[in-house]
Amino acid sequence: MSVKTLTPPAVQLAAKADTRGPARPMPKPGMVTFRINGESKTLSIAPWTTLLDALREYANLTGTKKGCDHGQCGACTVLVNGTRINSCLTLAVMHDDHEITTIEGLANEGGLHPLQTAFINHDAFQCGYCTPGQICSAVGLMNEGQAKTEADVRELMSGNICRCGAYPHIVDAVMEAIKK
């Protein structure tokens, strides 16, 4: 009795793949200059690199978290020219010569940012994974000047998810910082 070997379709396609001709050259990395947390940085990155990956992988600023990588959780929120954005949804090359502020850049020599202090005072985090994005989003919210009430804060912070459910404490912390 002879045994017949079947080759899966994926293996058959892979075997044919090398007959398509020469591979296309990879695009050359581009130079992008940011002012990150008050310091000028020039990075050599591929054109498809997200701002999130540029910050984490090239600038070694790992405070900004990669959550869903689809713009749905807000863990990657940073400030670009004072405006909050989801850094996973934007290409780094789009922000050449922009001012980028991450969680690492909010504190200064005088101490923590008032919002960071309010988060501590109100125990506005549990696991802490979403905290950098929550704080950057809240700073952006304060820069926008639209939040006057707790309802405003809840609505304008709705793009930032906290799996631990620390929302009441987050709102309290943001309201304390707005009042100061």
**pLDDT attached to residue 88:** 98
Alpha carbons 158 and 147: distance in angstroms, whole number = 13
CA-to-CA distance for 48 and 20, rounded, in angstroms?
A: 25
For the entire predicted model, the pTM comes to: 0.82
Q: What is the pLDDT of residue 110?
A: 87
Token pair 């802490």 in the structure block, residue: 128
Torsions phi, psi for 105 (to 5 deg): -95, 0
Give me the pLDDT at residue 30, please: 84
Low-confidence residues of the chain: pLDDT under 50 = 2-18
Domains of the chain and CATH, by start: 30-179 (3.10.20.30)
Q: How high is the pLDDT of residue 25?
A: 59
| HSE-up of residue 77 (Cα within 13 Å, Cβ side) | 25
Cβ count within 10 A of residue 170 = 27
Residue 11, CB-side half-sphere exposure with 13 Å CA sphere: 4
pLDDT at 26: 53
Q: 3-class secondary structure for the chain? A: CCCCCCCCHHHHHHHHHCCCCCCCCCCCCEEEEEEECCEEEEEEECCCCEHHHHHHHHCCCCCCCCCCCCCCCCCCEEEECCEEEEHHHCEHHHHCCCEEECHHHCCECCECCHHHHHHHHCCCCCCCCCHHHHHHHHHHHHHHCCCCCHHHHHHHCCCCCCCCCCHHHHHHHHHHHHHC
What's the confidence (pLDDT) of residue 180? 85
- Can you read off the two tokens belonging to residue 102? 């991450």
What pLDDT shows up at residue 12? 44
